[in-house]
Amino acid sequence: MTQQSSQLSAVNTAETHTAKAALSTKSVTLAYEDNVIAKDLTVDIPQGKFTVIVGPNGCGKSTLLRSLSRLLVPQSGEILLNGENIHHQSTREVAKKLGLLPQSAIAPDGIKVIDLVSRGRFPHQKWFQPWSEADQQAVELAMQATGVIDFAEFNVDQLSGGQRQRVWVAMALAQETSLLLLDEPTTYLDIAHQIELMDLFQDLNQIQGHTLVAVLHDLNHACRYADHLIMIKAGEIIATGSPNEIVTEALIEQVFGLSCLILSDPISNTPLIIPRGRKTAN
Ligand code: ADP
Ligand code: MG
């Protein structure tokens, strides 16, 4: 992870804003029929960075991710993937460039781990070509990276919530896309597995150059791992930039209605948010 200086000014977000966008929304309106979740929303996902999206429950994070991955068609505006309208590209084309780990993925009944992870290879396969060495290798590497190789022959529904989550991540990795969208990837994991997975994402970003977008609930993980943080409230972007640039007590109060104290995380020199809670608030 890039170690940001805590002295960066709160208004200077130029560094993250000048990076080329791998994916962006241009004035989109996102809605479920009449229920408008976000209006006139413009967001850039910078190429090669680790972007984290945070915001209260129901503010539209998953809706945004679904639109960025072409699952939800905006009522107006457009979504650009590598500069081109995502809805002018085929499902297979998009799936070669972009992988999504949905928030509540449900595995088909009775499917084995290895078979679920193998589904990540779908966009790379052609009907006239058999399962290749490259497919096999991608599946094995993905299972190794996520520590699920020992469960390869298990049924997915035999696994714990945490193990299952890692299988879904393996499926997304097997897809071998340069862009990965992860909706609450660390939910259900214990703290050690959360960090292990966040470190894996960081390696994918820093060593392999993947562009990552993750929705996270843990603000301290968000601050520690994000190069670029997007804070959303009620379908509106409230702040974007590196955590050291944008995170203040006032911002956390504004977005989450939470009174907190912000220290510097001694490991990463990023904001460490300590909730005051009702009993200790003054
Ligand atoms: P978040 O991920 O930030 O918790 P979501 O994007 O899931 O929020 O949801 C934003 C709003 O959209 C919520 O009010 C939710 O009830 C509504 N919503 C989400 N999915 C659907 C859906 N499939 N149909 C109708 N409304 C939905
Ligand atoms: Mg969500």
What is the CA(103)–ligand 2 centre distance, in A? 6
Residue pLDDT, tens place only, 214-231? 999 999 999 999 999 999
Q: Any residues with Cβ below 6 Å from ligand 1, and which? A: 32, 35, 37, 55, 57-63
Q: Phi, psi (5° rounding) for residue 214?
A: -130, 135
Q: What is the mean pLDDT of residues 13-33?
A: 81
More confident residue, 123 or 137: 137
pLDDT at position 42 is: 97
pLDDT at position 2 is: 39
| 142 in Cβ contact with 117 (< 8 Å) | yes
C-alpha distance across the termini of the chain, in Å: 35
pLDDT at position 18 is: 54
How many whole angstroms separate alpha carbon 137 and alpha carbon 126?
17
% of the chain surpassing 90 pLDDT: 73
Buried b / exposed e over 10-32, threshold 16 CB at 10 Å, is eeebebbeebebbbbbbebbbbe
Dig out the tokens for 216 from the structure: 């996270």
- Atom 17 in ligand 1: which residue has the minimum CA distance? 58
What is the CA(70)–ligand 1 centre distance, in A? 16
Dig out the tokens for 273 from the structure: 């948010």
Cα–Cα–Cα angle for 145, 151, 157, rounded to 5 degrees = 115
The minimum-distance atom of ligand 1 relative to the CA of 63 is 6
For residue 85, give the H/E element and its range: strand 84-85
Q: What is the mean pLDDT of residues 235-249?
A: 98
Dig out the tokens for 28 from the structure: 């989109």
pLDDT at position 229 is: 98
C-alpha 11 chain-centroid distance: 25
Residue pLDDT, tens place only, 40-53? 999 999 999 999 99
- Atom 14 in ligand 1: which residue has the minimum CA distance? 58
> Residues within 5 Å of ion ligand 2 by Cβ?
61-62, 103
Residue 7: pLDDT band (50, 70, 90) is very low
Which of 28, 30, 37 to mutate for ligand 1's pocket (most ligand atoms within 8 Å of CB)? 37
Residue pLDDT, tens place only, 152-174? 999 999 998 888 888 999 999 99
Dig out the tokens for 70 from the structure: 């072409």
- Atom 11 in ligand 1: which residue has the minimum CA distance? 58
What is the CA(58)–ligand 1 centre distance, in A? 6
pLDDT of 111 above 50:
yes
72 to 33, 53, 78, 126: CA distances (angstroms): 11, 18, 11, 26
What is the CA(65)–ligand 2 centre distance, in A? 9
Q: What is the mean pLDDT of residues 30-38?
A: 97
**CB atoms closer than 10 angstroms to residue 213:** 28
Residue pLDDT, tens place only, 90-108? 988 999 999 999 887 888 9
Which of 25, 30, 35, 36 to mutate for ligand 1's pocket (most ligand atoms within 8 Å of CB)? 35
Q: Is the pTM of this model over 0.95?
A: no
pLDDT at position 20 is: 87
Which of 25, 30, 32 to mutate for ligand 1's pocket (most ligand atoms within 8 Å of CB)? 32
pLDDT of 232 above 60:
yes
The minimum-distance atom of ligand 1 relative to the CA of 232 is 3
pLDDT at position 189 is: 85
DSSP string, 133-155: HHHHHHHHHHHHHTT-GGGTTSB
More confident residue, 48 or 2: 48
Buried b / exposed e over 89-109, threshold 16 CB at 10 Å, is beeeebbbbbbbbbeeeebee
Mean of per-residue pLDDT scores for the chain? 89
What is the CA(183)–ligand 2 centre distance, in A? 7
75 to 83, 155, 220: CA distances (angstroms): 19, 40, 34
